[in-house]
Structure 1
Amino acid sequence: MRIAVYVPLLLSLLAPLGARPLSERCEPRLATCLLTASSLILGAASTISLGLLAVTGLIRIPLLAHLGHWSPSSAQHTDPAQLSIALIAGLLLGGAAITAGRMLWRRVRTLAAAAMDAACMPTRDGLVVTEDEAPDAYALPGLPGRVVISTGMLHTLDDAEHAILLAHERAHLSAHHYAFVALAQLGAATNPLLRPLANAVTYTIERWADENAVTVAG
């Protein structure tokens, strides 16, 4: 246990080094899944490691050990963490919990607002055109989602480019790319070392949508 408890933390240092090569060289769908899973798993594992370091260190304090019916002398003999390390781990764990909670709350509110906005945009084919001279286009998650395109964007595209843009944005909706981004960011919220993985996911979903657009548009 002395070594195993530090393994997730070590992997969190090494994993970001492979994020960029994986995102650029691997098939985008597979890269997205691997990066998202890595961010979630390492985020959860590093959180558990911090929890173990904090608990097994703090039970050296006689009062805390008594509350949990532990033996301070036994903990001191088998414990992998010094008290100072346990205190640092506890602070990091608290910060990770707060950051992850705030990120999750903001993400839920954002998705709920997007779903409400989409529900207020009735359309037959899922395409909503807004009166705006600034070129803009995005996928709006919902049940069902919408593709929103400004008139300024439409004026800059010919028919073929219009079809490619629609295919790209619809790929974001059909493949639930927003969920991959949210999950990867949740892992990074618990462990800031994993932010390169979450950033790579935002890149791979664009590659994924691009390849889908190529397939659809020929």
Structure 2
Amino acid sequence: MTFAVYLPALLSVLLVAVSKAAARHTSPAAVTRGLTLAAVGAATAYAACLSFLALTLLDDLPPLAAFDHLPGLPKPVPGPVALVAAALLGWGAWRLFRDVRTRRDTHRELRSAGSPGAAGLVVADWEAPHAVAVPGNPGHILITTGLLRTLDGRERQVVLAHEHAHLRHRHHRLTALAAAAAAVNPLLVPLRDAVAHHAERWADEEAARQVGDRGLVARCVAKAALATRPQLALGGASVIGRVSALRRPAPHGRWTRLAGPAAIVVAIAAVTATAAFEFVAVATAWLHLA
């Protein structure tokens, strides 16, 4: 097998770098959807190429091992490389299982906080200031009394509009897909974080359109974040980025700005197809001898 089988991992690093630049002036909705698709495609290719490498371990088992030194056979992948690929594949599967289980348990816990009323709202008598969109059929919004006491009437409208946007656009599915991709391929963790950030930005923009005041939404985001995490004053780059974006005009960039990441995903698909053809050729040669 040629170098093509290793390229999806290298191109994943390039995808992260190009995606960061492409997302700067594009609408959050386009970025969230586009980066999710890119992450899933890159992770699928990465897992496929690891599988091709790991499956070459089979040529060390009888009866195939007896033909290792016959002329005319494709050069086998070094054993240590195949073992590393198998280990990475297993590690990714474990990370994926753990992420899915954690999300499932979190959603169950949130749904157990109470049954929503006609407005699709659950008010939990908790001191911790939180508001979260709880997915389900139908989904609902969970907000705590701790947060309600922190916000005034218009700020509460902003929070509800923000969380309704998460439910309406099913952001939990997009963020879950990006997280699954990063679990399989840890090189995509920055893309996972970018999808989560831009999903919040998307909901911020929806709230700003609904209430008609970007400054109010910016103040509400900062106020809610500081109430939830007082240590934000020492960090919190994501929230700071959201507030800064709301201080500027709404972005109107379209999908065309994501042409760079799309081109890299196409390249990843092409090299993965090449690796698949090479793997089939190697497997066919060995099976004819077995």
TM-score class, shorter-chain normalisation, is 0.7 to 0.9
Q: Which runs of 5+ in 1 are unaligned?
A: none
Letter in 1 for 2:99: M
Give the deviation of 1:185 after TM superposition.
Answer: 0.6
Instruction: Quote the residue 2:112 is aligned against.
Output: 117
CA contact (8 A) 1:60 1:76 kept: no
Relative distance call for 1:178 and 1:64 in structure 2 (3 A) is farther
Which residue number in structure 2 is paired with residue 10 of structure 1? 10
Cα offset for 1:126? 1.1
CA distance in structure 2 between the aligned counterparts of 1:6 and 1:53, rounded to whole angstroms? 9
Corresponding residue for residue 130 of structure 2 = 136
Percent identical residues: 39
1:126 aligns with 2:125: no
User: What secondary structure does 1:104 align onto?
Assistant: helix
Kept in 1: contact 2:128–2:146 (CA 8 A): yes
- 2 CA distance for matches of 1:100 and 1:64? 34
1:23/1:117 CA distance change after superposition, 3 Å = farther
Task: Report the counterpart of residue 55 of structure 1 in structure 2.
Answer: 55
Aligned counterpart, 2:200 = 206
Match of 2:234 in 1: none
Instruction: Output the aligned Cα RMSD.
Output: 2.4
Contact 1:136 1:153 survives alignment (8 Å): yes
Larger relative contact order (CA 8 Å, sep ≥ 6): 2
Cross-structure match for 2:84? 88
Contact 2:116–2:140 (8 Å) recurs in 1: no
Tell me the secondary structure at the aligned position of residue 184 of structure 1: helix
Unmatched runs of 5 consecutive residues or more in structure 2 = 213-290
> For residues 132-211 of structure 1, what are the structure 2 equivalents within 5 Å?
132-211=126-205
Map residues 71-110 of structure 1 onto 2, 5 A cutoff.
71-73=67-69, 77-79=73-75, 81-110=77-106
8 Å CA contact retained: 1:59, 1:72: no
Equivalent pairs, count: 212
- Structure 2 residue matching 1:25: 3-state secondary structure: coil
Q: 1:17 to 1:151 in 2, by over 3 A?
A: same
Name which of structure 1's ranges 98-107 and 180-189 shifts more when overlaid on structure 2: 98-107
C-alpha distance in 1, partners of 2:181/2:80?
26
Change (3 A) 1:74 1:187: farther
Moved more, 81-90 or 100-109: 100-109
Amino acid of the residue matched to residue 147 of structure 1?
I
